[in-house]
Structure 1
Amino acid sequence: MDGSITNGSPQSTSRRAFLKASAATAATGLVLGAGAKEAKAFAYEPYPRDDDLETVVTSCAHNCGSRHMLVAHKKGDVIVRLSTDNGTYQGDAYGTDTEEKPQLRACLRGRSYRSRLYSPERLLYPMKRVGARGEGKFKRVTWDEALSDIAQRMVYLRDTYGPTALLDQSYAGASYGVLHKSDQIEGLLGRFMGMFGCRTSSWSVPSYQGTTFSSRTTFGTIQDGNEDDAFAHSKLIIMWGWNPAYTFHGGNTFYYMRMAKQRGCKFVLVDPQYTDSASAYDAWWIPIRPNTDAAMMAGMAYHIWDNDWHDQAFIDRFVQGMDKGTMPGWAQGQESFKDYIFGERDGVAKTPEWAAEICGVKAEDIKKLAEMYATTKPAALKASWSPGRNAYGEQYNRMAAALQSMTGNIGILGGCAEGVGKAWHAEAVAYPYDQFANVWYASIKSDRWAHCVLNYPNLKREEIGLWPRMDQLDGVAPNIRGIFWQGSDWLNQLTNINKEIAAIRKLDSYGEGESLLVCMDSTITPTGIWADYLLPIATHFERHDVALPWYKGHYYIHRPVVIQPLGESKTDFQVFTELAYRLGFGPGYNPRATRDYFNDPTQVDEAYLVAWWDNVRHHQGVEWDWETFKKRGVYKFVLPEPHVAFRPQIEQGMPFETPSGKIEIFSTTLAQTPDWTRTQYGYEIPAIPKWIEPWESLNHPKAKEFPFHMISPHPRWRTHSIFNNIPWLRETFAQETMMNASDAEKMGIRTGDTIECWNERGRVITPVYVSERCMPGVVVLHEGAWMDLDEDGVDRSGNPDFLTLDNPSPAGAFAYNTVLCNVKKSDLNHRPGWDKLSTARSHVFRRDL
């Protein structure tokens, strides 16, 4: 075996033959061997019982929309099993699980972490590429060799190609610990590269960039969310593109929504697919054509006004630009939101009948939902992020905010203003070091890096969302020559993967030493296959930290060093500190550490966390000292009342954080922007929410060639691409394309057939699941499958991002769900993991080449 990654089956065949032969040998020994031991019930003897195990409280760490408790049960330095919160860890009675203090129970993904920790694909040693780019040939090297080479190459690229030569592609794969962060905004890599003086950063968040724009434009903040206990007080919850059974938005979303159901709350789902959440809550399902949500909301707004169901007193007091009477004096004569809805400028009234032609929802259903929402108090319109991951996705979120405002459902218990939805902001207290020393020279939109590399230097700034302006950067776009992937599998997860691969190949074409690709992770990932260096990073079980809620949840969870790092793994903080010393700014980067931190971070990490906890106690009134917190493992804040976004504004008259101090349906900033080419967006954005036809949709002429609209929601069994290599989860859920039964019947397709989905950007292979759970003309393929390319460039694993488009939406929304494609039966084999049985490719990284 030459150590290369191959795409055929010989590896699997040889593996199965080896196992078969081993089993046969073992069986012969049992039958014929003298003195063979009597068979026992357990595979290992002695098998550890609970009384033999040490129990350690920790948490999960992945970027799922939550942060739950894990309890590690270990024998020596080995985690034997994982359990979760049972109510006792804060000193309460066993089984304590109340509305004020619910258990932080881990889901199936979190409970499977042991398989990820001890995966055959766990990176254990620094590795250096020795084969062709993307071939997967690496050899083991020492930390000294790897870091010396990387530091030398960093200096060369910075000095030769300038302060934008290195691209920061950190992300939230294991984010929001207090000390160890892989976040693109506040993370360790950004701080390191900024202090080094060579960084091109990314200003956009793939999950909710359009939503971020909407929340900041409308409310002046992204902290527009209630804590989830507020859902328990709703009389109506509209799940618009939201499936909380799969994507938790806070620690106990499902718990509180079940409580609302028990109290008589009605549920509605607006979504192209019928979800498990709709089933659990017996929701009224309204199928809608993808990317047409803003049009349907406009039709609802018309019907609410037409029947005088709006809350005029709320509008007059708190809202700017909803109608002529609430337009600011300096904007008199400009179009208000009501003007637009009633077609006073364009001559097109946005009636339910008008909306029905666009979104495929019956006008009567639009009217019924509008009446339910406007006349049920309090009602929560939860405008989830998914419909905003579209071309012009920001208009959907802004339109939702208009509906929330015109019905007066903002700032009241049981209502909802959520766009981004950040709520009680646990992490707002002081950090243990200067998180925001992220000096940067240029920032581009995350999914436009490949376009930048492929077209440099012949670029307009709006093509890549460059910020600051080019005239502040000597008139040129970033000359990207290297990439650091930290806590991210972005080559697998950003839009238009084939374009990314082309950009990687261009970097490779510059010649030996003229580019640098570094992947820092605990696991071998599809992105790592393309790197020059693989650096083994300790998991959250192997480093000291405190877990913070993701963007909701009022608690902290202590994360001790549960086991010692496997192999030669180091924390990100150790790696960046050592590199900083080699590059001349070690003490500035890690002020509490000496050079020995690379070998032993124990005392330094503890000192940072103790200082942070002292800040917590001062800012948030926590009574426990640090030792008590460590002993208990979790601190749950008991709030005097449910946290409701904008309650102080509505009840006490405090101003909103907008230029006008009001909810801005008519945006002061957008209306007063004189030159859009001098913004980070580069394209005009209307001052009020509007329906704008996306680049691709079922209403587009292109649908004649590509008649299916693909959506790629989050799966239950992965967190983006994390956990894709866990056998337990792959056995439970399959990567397959769901299509409507009527579409399948016309094409002679049945459940279990293998199909190909394709467009001009790429091709993917999956099994098909035929169902009535998605509407005709729509196919559903969950995001995050690890790419597996064959010799013809076809992805056999079923990653939808081979079909997505990386074009920039004006306000920065990622168009993951703006995809037209075609479908046909295929004779090609689907490869569901990197091997159906286990992890066949790990052998590549287990030998010296």
Structure 2
Amino acid sequence: MIRRVPHCSHWGTFSILVEDGRIVDVEPFADDPAPSPIIHSVAEWAKPDRRVLRPMVRDGWLRSRETSDGAGRGNERFVAVPWDEALELVATEIRRVAATHGNASIFAGSYGWTSCGRVHHASSLLKRTLNLVGGFTGHVDTYSIAAGPVILRHTLGDEQACGGQANTLDSIAAHSETLVVFGAMSPRTAQTEAGGIGAHHLEGYLRRIAERGVRVVHVSPLRDDLPEWVNAEWWPIRPNTDTALMLGLAGEIVADGRHDADFLARCTSGSDEFLAYLRGDVDGLRKDAAWASGVTGLPADQIRALATRLVQTRSMLTVSWALQRAHHGEQPFWAALGLAAVIGQIGLPGGGAGYGYGSLGGVGAPFAIGKSPGMSQGHKAIDSFIPVARISDMLLNPGESFTYQGETRTYPDVRLVYWAGGNPFHHHQDLNRLSKAWQRPETIIVQDPMWTATARRADIVLPASTSIERNDLAGNKRSDVIAAMHRAIDPLGQSRSDFDIFNALAERLGVGPAFNEGRDEMGWIRHLYDESRDYALRAHGFQMPEFDSFWERGHASVPVKRDHVYLDQFRADPDRNPLDTESGRIVLGSQTLARLGHADCPSHPAWMPPAEWLGEAAPDELHLISHQPRGRLHSQLESGESSLTDRRNGREQLRLNPGDAEARGIRDGDTVRLWNTRGACLATASVSEDTARGVAVLPTGAWFTPADDGTEISGNPNVLTLDIPSSAFGQGCAAHTCLIRVAPHAGDNRDPMQTYQTQLAEMLAEPEETS
């Protein structure tokens, strides 16, 4: 008999069909108009091939503990130990490091993209545990978006405009006449949402935009960053030069006297400084269409014509999260705000600027206004953190100073890394540098369902179950439902849920009652749901079903805000509705940044050449874009059907423009080698007219598989990317600032996935007995 089990993942809400303890199929949520095909890969979690099935300890660490050689990580065999012994080893290390070096020397590196469940959210549970025993060093912001929120907090007072609360897409679809898309607005990236999602709405809004005949200008090196049926004009810009185009558009508008002087005077501060920069008063360079054309490679006449249209029609600017993952990544977000302010339509339906539409499934959709369910991390015991993308810097440079949002802070001397739910050997840049930094801590603990590249490089590995092996609930501020996540199958091997692992660890650390508050798994699920239900009724008069009805049905609707117009009340009366900025207005000239004097983040939106870009590239160099893949999320479900569909010859595909391929003697389907001074990897060439000349595209998420010669053979672009901050102010990652060389690489038939499994098997093999 087949059971239909309600569930949810980062790719949507669905039902798992289970027969005799086996997953036989997956059915999408009936109310989802565009379900993601990735949900059909979740059965991959039930396969033991890459699963951590029992607690394991690296042999060298087990013998020498904190004095062991970190160079053995990723090379030495693992030894199986009982759960009680593994938990005692972990508890002992936490107590030792805290007592000897202080709690700031414990780095809770968990990076949120674990199970979308709110109870078994590994990152929250780890931080909850460590806060109860004196604290930890954590991280702020994310690899996906860091520089952007930092500059918007300073210039708009918060980051709502890039978190899903700018103008919603239903309002844009109804009112905009001109839509300029900087980067992507793609169903490919809108498949996923942190914390789960009920329905995928982006495609529907894009179809309404196309049906209304909105003029859409798509500024991107990749034509298919917007669906073909949107009928957009494709402007194949040089990567990392969007800021110059925005400034050139603004400069044209100002030079012709068509800027909204009233809006600038009422609603902004520092606009005189910004306008002076556009005129070239200081540097002698007038920021106009001709200047922008020289930087971006786009025709000046097109830029002039668009500048005219932006002030003649209701115009909306959208900026992808991807644009701020670059050197000087703060600038495109700030320059878009400056351009929108010059146009003067901020706060009007269908006008202004917004960030991240389509970067996640819920960004731009009507957003939840209730209380999202979530485990509390508790009181933050100590004030110690790093920007998320500065992990290698922290490990390699303890005691050195860094700046962030105007503060000067110091990197802690990290001796213990505890990573639960995440894979920095996917997310981080310059993985060869990270590999060296990873040798420095005395102990590394990884808690994960899978033998990821990070788990392979741990000292202690704790086997966590996946979401399909436990009960939970999903929901977040960008989803219109809370979804029930019922257990579908029994846990594999000796794996345990994240809550059970941390509950047992908290007991050993003497904080069990404070951690669990007298609730078990179902007790917490009911408690979190009831908190959201009570808030919806109290704050919005919205009636959600009682828990038992919700649990049986599998989902419950939550109150949402539709047709939202960002900053409409501020526009109407800036004095009565001030922003939380230095002036209470939109900041276009910053006194704070002028005082800080960061050369890489000046006091107004500005164009600065990045560390690596096509404007200063050698003739044989290409600009590498490493974007989110179509068939998986980051490195999750890399061996699933959806992910494998996009591989060729076992490797990730590198997209190249036909002219670039021909110039290098590369044919479609060839194995190619990509390299720069940071590293090298292999991929399979895919020749595509949808890729701009001078640009190469390699998706993220291939499991890091370095061969003996140092070449990464599966196609992981982060062996090539640059590990520098976006700026001294924002400290975001700069993954999209990267030049490479590419050449054919014949005769290498190694299967990366089989190589990974072989390497893993050698590390897990029991030592041979000697007589």
Quick check: which has more Rg, 1 or 2?
Answer: 1
Aligned to 2:737: 818
Corresponding residue of 2:472? 545
* Distance in 2, Cα, partners of 1:142 & 1:727: 34
**Is this contact kept in 2: 1:127–1:141, CA < 8 A?**
yes
Q: Is the 8 A contact 2:325 2:726 kept in 1?
A: no
- 1:374-453 alignment, distance < 5 Å: 374-377=311-314, 379-419=315-355, 426=368, 429=371, 434-453=376-395
Whole-angstrom distance in 1 between the partners of 2:210 and 2:751: 37
Q: Is the 8 A contact 2:150 2:405 kept in 1?
A: no
Counterpart among 542, 560, 564 of residue 643 in structure 1: 564
Q: Distance in 1 between matches of 2:252 and 2:405?
A: 41
After superposition, the C-alpha distances for 1:533-564 in whole angstroms (9 at most, x for unaligned) are: 22122222233332114x53332222233334
- For the pair 1:729 / 2:648, whether they are aligned, the reply is no
Q: Tell me the CA shift for residue 235 of structure 1.
A: 2.7
1:532 aligns with 2:472: no
Judged with a 3 Å threshold, the aligned counterparts in structure 2 of structure 1 residues 725 and 620 are, in CA distance, closer, same or farther, namely: farther
Deviation at 1:162, TM superposition (A): 2.4
TM-score (norm 2): 0.88
Q: Distance in 2 between matches of 1:719 and 1:275?
A: 19
Q: Match for residue 615 of structure 1?
A: 535
Correspondence for 1:519: 446
- Quote the residue 2:24 is aligned against: 80
- 1:430, CA displacement in angstroms? 7.3
User: Structure 1 residues 645, 566: CA separation in 2 closer, same or farther (over 3 Å shift)?
Assistant: farther
Residues 180 and 208 (structure 1 numbering): CA distance in 2 closer, same or farther, change over 3 Å? same
The answer (yes or no) to whether the contact 1:543–1:571 under 8 Å persists in 2 is yes
User: Given the alignment, which residue of 218, 226, 243 partners 1:269?
Assistant: 218
Task: Flag the 1:133–1:842 CA change in 2: closer, same or farther, 3 A.
Answer: closer
Q: Deviations over 1:222-250 (max 9, x none)?
A: 11223333342233332211141211187
Task: State how 1:301-700 maps to structure 2 within 5 Å.
Answer: 301-322=250-271, 324=272, 336-377=273-314, 379-419=315-355, 426=368, 429=371, 434-457=376-399, 459-462=400-403, 469-470=408-409, 477-507=411-441, 515-549=442-476, 552-593=478-519, 601-623=521-543, 624-637=545-558, 639=560, 641-651=562-572, 654-671=577-594, 674-675=595-596, 685-700=601-616
Q: The residue matched to 2:43 in structure 1 has which SS?
A: helix
What is the deviation of 1:395? Answer: 0.6
- Aligned-residue offset at 1:387: 1.4
- Cα distance in 2 for residues equivalent to 1:627 and 1:443: 40
Aligned to 1:218: 155
In the superposition, relative to structure 1, how do residues 280 and 733 fare at CA in structure 2: closer, same or farther (>3 Å)?
farther
How far apart are residue 148 of structure 1 and its match? 0.7
| Cross-structure match for 1:12 | none
1:293 aligns with 2:230: no
1: CA distance between counterparts of 2:715 and 2:662? 22
User: Does the 8 Å contact 1:788/1:831 carry over to 2?
Assistant: no
1:276–1:208: structure 2 CA closer, same or farther, 3 Å change rule?
closer
Equivalent residue letter for 2:480: H
Per the normalisation by structure 1, the TM-score is 0.80
Which ranges of structure 1 fall in alignment gaps of 5 or more residues? Answer: 1-51, 88-102, 325-335, 471-475, 508-514, 677-681
Distance 1:441 1:292, change over 3 A: same
**Is the Cα–Cα contact under 8 Å of residues 320 and 666 in structure 1 kept in the other structure?**
yes
Q: Are residues 270 and 640 of structure 1, via their aligned partners in 2, closer, same or farther at CA, if it must alter by over 3 Å?
A: closer
Q: CA deviation at 1:200?
A: 1.7
Partners of 1:388 and 1:261 in 2: CA distance:
27
1:501 CA displacement: 0.5
1:120 equivalent in alignment to 2:34: no
What displacement does 1:726 show?
A: 1.4
* Alpha-carbon distance change, 468 to 287 in structure 1, aligned in 2, over 3 angstroms: closer
Q: 1:540 to 1:802 in 2, by over 3 A?
A: same
TM-aligned CA deviation for residue 611 of structure 1: 4.1
In 2: Cα distance, 1:466 partner to 1:686 partner:
13
Counterpart AA for 1:281? V
Task: Summarize the alignment of residues 742-757 of structure 1 with structure 2, pairs less than 5 Å apart.
Answer: 742-757=659-674
Contact persistence 1:382–1:418 (CA under 8 A):
yes
Residues 171, 563 of structure 2: 8 Å contact kept: yes
Structure 1 counterpart SS, 2:109 = strand
1:797 maps onto 2:714 in alignment: yes
Tell whether 2:109 aligns with 1:169.
Answer: yes
Kindly tell me the number of residue pairs found equivalent between the two proteins.
Answer: 730
CA distance in 1, matches of 2:341, 2:297: 25
Residues 173, 350 of structure 2: 8 Å contact kept? yes
How big is the shift at 1:487? 1.4
How far off is 1:429 after superposition?
A: 2.6
- Report what 1:91 is aligned to: none
Alignment-mate amino acid for residue 356 of structure 1:
S
Evaluate the alpha carbon distance shift between residue 617 and residue 113 of structure 1 in structure 2; reply closer, same or farther with a 3 A threshold: farther
- 2:105 matched to 1:197? no
Per-residue deviation, 1:640:
7.0
The amino acid of 1:127's aligned partner reads M
SS of equivalent to 1:373: helix
Which region of structure 1 is more displaced relative to structure 2, 610-619 or 199-208? Answer: 610-619
Partners of 1:211 and 1:466 lie apart in 2 by: 12
Post-superposition CA distance 1:663-685 (Å, at most 9, x none): 222235434xx456xxxxx7763
Question: After superposition, what is the alpha-carbon deviation per residue over 1:432-459, rounded to whole angstroms, capped at 9, x for unaligned?
Answer: 65435233342122232222322335x3
- The secondary structure found in structure 2 opposite 1:628 is helix
Equivalence for 1:235 = 177
Aligned-partner residue type, residue 614 of structure 1: D
Matches of 2:170 and 2:553, distance apart in 1: 24
Aligned equivalents of 2:229, 2:702: Cα separation in 1: 26
SS at match of 2:216: strand
Whether the 8 Å CA contact 2:17–2:26 is kept in 1: the answer is yes
Taking the aligned partners of 2:492 and 2:763, their CA distance within structure 1 comes to 15
Q: Find the aligned partners of 2:561 and 2:461 in 1 and give their Cα distance.
A: 48
1:98-139 C-alpha deviation (Å, 9 max, x unpaired)? xxxxx3643011232122343521223222223742026323
Tell me how far 1:830 sits from its aligned partner.
6.3
The structure-2 alpha-carbon separation of the partners of 1:732 and 1:390, relative to structure 1 and needing over 3 Å to count, comes to closer
SS class of match (2:97): helix
- Kindly state the Cα deviation for residue 354 of structure 1 after the two structures are TM-superposed: 0.9
Say if 1:758 and 1:823, in contact at 8 Å, map to a contact too. Answer: yes
Q: Helix, strand or coil: the match of 1:196?
A: coil
User: Please, what is the CA RMSD of the aligned residues?
Assistant: 2.8
What CA distance in whole angstroms lies between the structure 1 residues aligned with 2:244 and 2:45? 43
Three-state SS of the structure 2 residue aligned to 1:403 is helix
CA distance in 1, matches of 2:440, 2:182: 41
Matched residue type, 1:816? A
Q: Deviations over 1:55-107 (max 9, x none)?
A: 232211x3xxxx521112222543321111223xxxxxxxxxxxxxxx36430
2:99 equivalent to 1:159: yes
- The Cα shift of 1:157 comes to 2.0
Determine the structure 1 residue equivalent to 2:187.
245
- Alpha-carbon shift at residue 400 of structure 1 (Å): 0.7
C-alpha contact (below 8 Å) 2:138/2:384 kept by paired residues? yes
- Which residue in 1 is equivalent to 2:118? 178
Name the stretch that deviates more: 792-801 or 191-200. Answer: 191-200
Secondary structure, counterpart of 2:4 in structure 1: strand
Amino acid aligned to 2:51: R
- Asked if 1:280 is matched to 2:207, the reply is no
